[in-house]
């Protein structure tokens, strides 16, 4: 789950890199892509959400299945309802595949150099159709600010798998959502953060987000929702 906070300042959009190998061959070259997810990505999305529940110590609240995700996601055009960006990596340049012809969103691609290779024990179970490795995701949907009289985006989930953390990938996902908000003329992006996750709080503050201590989340769910709704 991701934080109720004022949105970050308009970002400099993550540049699309030329699809060529990085010049510095003495380091470990990787290619990163952020693209729209679809129904075929649901098995990976389900595994990512479960890993996020484990990280947030909230597995007792986790009841999503691949079937329930397939039923509730991807029923509306992207950015008009629930939208998912997938973060995936490859050791070779990404091909100009069907994701690049998607009229709703052109993927962001970037080449990076790492000092050491990424050790990912779950690499094979997070292999996507093209042979790339899914490393993270962000799930968001429209909301509205009556004070600004503008729509915005609310980030429900943002998650990067453990092997890929502290490499700038979370920032790339947030930047992709913020850039889409700017492109659409939205007024803000907001999300939630757990109060014990001090590393995430520091990261969000450093990127310009206002962590609003005075706000509290109120939630009706389960039996309380049923009782109050009757």
**In whole angstroms, what is the distance from residue 144 CA to residue 128 CA?**
34
- Is residue 34 classed as helix, strand or coil in its secondary structure? strand
- Is residue 144 classed as helix, strand or coil in its secondary structure? strand
pLDDT for res 170? 95
Confidence (pTM) = 0.86
| DSSP single-letter state for residue 138 | E
Is the per-residue pLDDT at 147 higher than 80? yes
DSSP-assigned states of every residue in 7-31: PPPPPPPPPPPPSS--S-TTSEEEE
Residue 195's pLDDT band, with cuts at 50, 70 and 90, is very high
| Other C-beta atoms lying within 10 Å of the C-beta of residue 65 | 10
* φ, ψ of residue 175 in degrees (nearest 5): -65, -35
In angstroms, what CA-CA distances link 89 with 51, 133, 135, 157?
18, 5, 7, 20
**In whole angstroms, what is the distance from residue 20 CA to residue 23 CA?**
9
Q: Enter the CATH code of domain 28-220.
A: 3.40.630.30
| DSSP single-letter state for residue 78 | T
Query: Could you state, in order of their start, the residue ranges of all structural domains in the chain?
Result: 28-220
- The catalytic residue positions are 204
**In whole angstroms, what is the distance from residue 151 CA to residue 142 CA?**
7
pLDDT for res 22? 42
What average pLDDT does range 163-169 have in this prediction? 95
Lookup result for tokens 């009782």: 227
Residue 63's pLDDT band, with cuts at 50, 70 and 90, is very high
pLDDT for res 72? 96
For residues 98 and 8, which has the higher predicted lDDT (pLDDT)? 98
């Amino acid at each position: 789950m991701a934080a109720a906070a004022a949105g970050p300042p308009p970002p400099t959009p993550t540049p699309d890199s030329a699809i060529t190998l990085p010049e510095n061959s003495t380091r470990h070259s990787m290619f990163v892509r952020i693209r729209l997810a679809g129904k075929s990505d649901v098995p990976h999305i389900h595994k990512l959400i479960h890993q996020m529940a484990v990280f947030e110590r909230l597995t007792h609240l986790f009841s999503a299945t691949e079937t329930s995700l397939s039923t509730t996601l991807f029923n509306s055009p992207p950015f008009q309802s629930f939208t998912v960006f997938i973060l995936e990596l490859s050791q070779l340049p990404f091909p100009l595949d069907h994701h690049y012809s998607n009229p709703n969103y052109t993927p962001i691609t970037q080449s990076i150099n790492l000092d050491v290779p990424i050790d990912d024990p779950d690499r094979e179970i997070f292999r996507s159709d093209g042979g790339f490795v899914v490393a993270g995701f962000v799930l968001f949907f429209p909301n509205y600010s009556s004070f600004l009289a503008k729509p915005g985006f609310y980030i429900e989930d943002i998650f990067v798998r453990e092997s890929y953390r502290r490499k700038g990938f979370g920032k790339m996902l947030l930047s992709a959502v913020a850039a889409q908000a700017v492109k659409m003329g939205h007024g803000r992006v907001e999300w939630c953060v757990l109060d014990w996750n001090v590393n995430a709080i520091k990261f969000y503050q450093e990127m310009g987000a206002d962590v609003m201590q005075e706000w509290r989340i109120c939630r009706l769910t389960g039996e309380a929702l049923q009782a109050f709704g009757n």
